Structure 1
Amino acid sequence: MTSKVVTEYGRTREEAASKLKTKYPSSEIFYDRTFRNGWKFWSKKWELKAVLYEEPKQPKVKAEEPKVKAEEKTKNKKNNNQQEALNTDERKATLLKMLANSEVAPNGTTSVSDQKIEELMNTVDMLIKKLNTEEKKKSLPLPLEKMESYLKEQEVDDRTARIYVEKVEEEFKGVPNIEDNEVNESIRSLIENQINVMGPMKSEEKKIICVVGPTGVGKTTTLAKIGWEIISQNRTVGFITTDTFRSGAKEQLEQYAQKMDAETIVAKSAKELKEAIQYFQNVNKVDHILIDTVGRNPLVEESIESVKEYLEIAKPQNEEEMLTCLVLSSTSKVRDLKETLSRFEQVKIDSMIFTKLDETYNIGSVLNVFNFTDLPLLYVTDGQDITKNIYAPTKRMLSEKILNKDTALEGKIIA
């Protein structure tokens, strides 16, 4: 494959570009400038330069040869597209050679002596990346293109979606026709391999259960749901809230507790938290103590420190008897989830709970979170009713939910 530089002129940039694309459809514009053709102001003209990649002409097929079957024709067309695509090194070498010869420079200049080499390299790399991405997309079979688009619609990370479809493409290499159901099953398997679930909680093993997390993710309601499931197992619970900042937080938890005939204590300090725990252990003698911590801004260091202090006080002699859950919202942005997990690394977290699955059509964030944490997923929730709407998901259920948003959630939370 060879390349050459072609030039076209016009009274406007659009006119010059149109001429280039008409004459050389496969050319890539890399340089433009404006100049005056003489001294008159109306003589302003545009000059555009483009790279034209040329493929050696192929010999014509003899008339007497039989016609290629439709399937073989499609395969040959795909192979030709791949042959026409320049590899990254070849493209970069071509453009860098042109840069060195002062044939191309940004902003319409004809010299690169005043340009930083890093900027030039970044420009070239960005162009190469864009071209290669477009070429790869063109080469994907239709079922894989559809799957990649669907995963992105579900807000699955672009890189993750691309890795998935490329793995499936490799799996079916050489297969002439890939069926949609085959693609779905392969993608489902990849999702299940990435997801980490904890499974139902064994209630007799966890004496103290704490929920932590950012403000507004549904910690109080989630804790009440856990409490309801525990009392359904004929066990007793006591609630402690340290959230004295949010208006109505105490009243909300008390209303939930009344439905369970359970007691609620408000702890305004670390000292009061310790006293409340001792009361439930030695006086009320409940089977489980459920602690609702105040919502914290993960961007503020002091907020995380106060959470650590409270959890240290709540910690029993046998640490295995305590379960600390980081509550996250499935409506949160991936970047915010990543930042929250990063901040809470200072705290000993045992598992995650994802809430509000009913408030979003796209639950790709649940999958994305496993790109940057090893924490297992304990529960998911999808409503406000404390007597239900909480589930201990299986890998299969989550993968089906991601691939089909109408999939019903299920999974008993207490073993």
Structure 2
Amino acid sequence: MGLLSYLRNKFKKEEKVVETKEPLAEIKEEQIKEETIKPVEEEASTLKEEVKTEQIKEVKSVETEVKKETEVKIAAEVKQEDSSNVVKQVYLEKPGVYKESDKDVYVRGLRKSNKGFMAKLRRLTSIFYKVDEEYFQDLEEILIEADVGVDLSLSLVDKAKKQAKIDRIEDPKEINDLLIDMMFEDYRASGVNKEDLELQFAKEGPTVLLVVGVNGVGKTTTIAKLAKRYIDRKKKVLLVAGDTFRAGASEQLEEWSRRLGCDIVKGNYGVDPSSLCYEGLNKAKSENYDLVIVDTAGRLQNKSNLMAELGKMSRVMKKIIPDAPHETFLIIDANTGQNGVEQAKVFKEVTPLSGIVITKMDGTSKGGIILAIRNQIGVPVRYIGLGEKFSDLKVFDLDSYLYGLLIGEEDEK
């Protein structure tokens, strides 16, 4: 069974999950399907305290129009903003609310990458009726443009070329399928379980997570999303604002701590971040925190200074908690492509990395960076950011990633 067939079979019978606690700001109008609108008329009577009578009438009128089509967007049916808000309020508060599955989030987040990568492969099959040297050259260019990396791209095409000769394959579509299988067999063979990619908590005492990365990659936002993930899992979380050299960094993290309802240790601009680590870990140990997330400065201009700073922070941490930091995550912006891979190489030289978090995958049409990181860095991708919502930060799942990148919305049509 080929990779594409395997993925289609795996996700074919996946059922949509139902949940009633989605935050209002995270619900998009296009998610509201006909089946969620139908019960509005029956359920509206139970919402007398929240919904005004005149608003319920508008929802009923919307319901009548919605039934005329299989699936419609609320924005196209509801002309007045107030009635749209009522629909979303009922949609949130009553049972039967549709929540995206992980696969659906991957499909949405990788939409640009799917259209960019797979569209080019399909275009090759329409141009070439038989494989030749020019075909394989075009194939190399597609992989390189998708941020798979030059070395890996050349290696993959060379393997595909040799296998095609052995199997006497001349159909471009068959070559494409063969290439796709080869692209991911090494990654799959690594045997990393999704459960192992989740943040690993210490058996006793606080778990310390050190977060590194250059400025502008979404480091602070990712810290907030990770904090929210574990706060929702009933963990007591403490943030340490260790980026004391970027103006506004501590204030930004402090604002996130306020919104999330978790504590933070911060200092003035330019203060030694190691002193904040000392204060933060002492607080975490004495007050029984489950997780400490430490932000760091994103300066990469001087490798020796960065190494000295991170080394000092780690030594100070170990005085309080001998095994700290238990995890060190590097944040990489997917839009930086091969520059992100080069950043990872530098940080790996500077400090031990236990995982990589890829952010802003929804903003790039080049989804191959994950393969390049695996091939060139050898550090597992632990989390992937597929959108702006808290719930768009997912533990990396190879099958869902492959489905979103290679199949995407093709099977949804």
CA deviation vs aligned residue, 1:24-82 (integer Å, no higher than 9, x gap): xxxxxxxxxxxxxxxxxxxxxxxxxxxxxxxxxxxxxxxxxxxxxxxxxxxxxxxxxxx
Change (3 A) 1:190 1:336: closer
Correspondence for 1:412? none
Per residue, is there more helix in 1 or in 2? Answer: 2
In the alignment, structure 1 residue 295 sits paired with structure 2 residue 287: no
Query: Does the CA-based 8 Å contact 1:208-1:288 persist in structure 2?
Result: yes
Correspondence for 1:259? 259
Compute the displacement of 1:236 (Å): 1.1
In structure 2, distance between residues paired with 1:184 and 1:373: 26
Compute the displacement of 1:253 (Å): 1.4
Kindly report which structure 2 residues correspond to 1:4-403, keeping only aligned pairs within 5 A, or say none: 139-140=132-133, 142=135, 147-172=139-164, 173-178=166-171, 180=173, 183-184=176-177, 186-194=179-187, 199-203=197-201, 205=203, 207-267=207-267, 268-269=271-272, 270-282=274-286, 284-315=287-318, 317-319=321-323, 322-335=326-339, 337-385=341-389, 387-403=390-406
In structure 1, distance between residues paired with 2:298 and 2:348: 13
Determine which structure has greater relative contact order: mean sequence separation of CA pairs < 8 Å that are 6+ residues apart, divided by chain length: 2
Compute the displacement of 1:318 (Å): 4.8
Change (3 A) 1:400 1:305: farther
In structure 1, distance between residues paired with 2:363 and 2:338: 16
Query: Does the CA-based 8 Å contact 1:298-1:339 persist in structure 2?
Result: no
CA deviation vs aligned residue, 1:211-254 (integer Å, no higher than 9, x gap): 01212111111111111111111111111111222232222212
In structure 2, distance between residues paired with 1:140 and 1:405: 30
In structure 1, distance between residues paired with 2:280 and 2:163: 58
TM-score by length of 1: 0.57
Change (3 A) 1:180 1:288: same
Moved more, 271-280 or 149-158: 149-158
In structure 1, distance between residues paired with 2:149 and 2:302: 23
Equivalenced residue count is 269
Query: Does the CA-based 8 Å contact 2:212-2:328 persist in structure 1?
Result: yes
Compute the displacement of 1:258 (Å): 2.0
Unpaired segments ≥5 residues, structure 1: 1-136, 409-415
Query: Does the CA-based 8 Å contact 1:210-1:290 persist in structure 2?
Result: yes
In structure 2, distance between residues paired with 1:240 and 1:405: 38
Query: Does the CA-based 8 Å contact 1:338-1:369 persist in structure 2?
Result: no
Query: Does the CA-based 8 Å contact 1:239-1:257 persist in structure 2?
Result: yes
In structure 1, distance between residues paired with 2:324 and 2:246: 31
Correspondence for 1:18? none
TM-score by length of 2: 0.57
Query: Does the CA-based 8 Å contact 1:298-1:344 persist in structure 2?
Result: no
Change (3 A) 1:299 1:138: farther
SS in 2 for 1:366: helix
In structure 2, distance between residues paired with 1:298 and 1:354: 21
The RMSD of aligned alpha carbons is 3.1
Change (3 A) 1:339 1:255: closer
Compute the displacement of 1:273 (Å): 2.2
Unpaired segments ≥5 residues, structure 2: 1-129
Query: Does the CA-based 8 Å contact 1:299-1:343 persist in structure 2?
Result: no
Change (3 A) 1:232 1:203: farther
Letter in 2 for 1:139: D
In structure 2, distance between residues paired with 1:293 and 1:342: 15
Change (3 A) 1:297 1:321: closer
Per residue, is there more strand in 1 or in 2? Answer: 1
In structure 2, distance between residues paired with 1:312 and 1:394: 33
Change (3 A) 1:297 1:323: same
Compute the displacement of 1:158 (Å): 3.1
In structure 1, distance between residues paired with 2:301 and 2:405: 27
Compute the displacement of 1:370 (Å): 2.8
**Structure showing greater Rg:** 1
SS in 1 for 2:239: strand
In structure 2, distance between residues paired with 1:263 and 1:184: 50
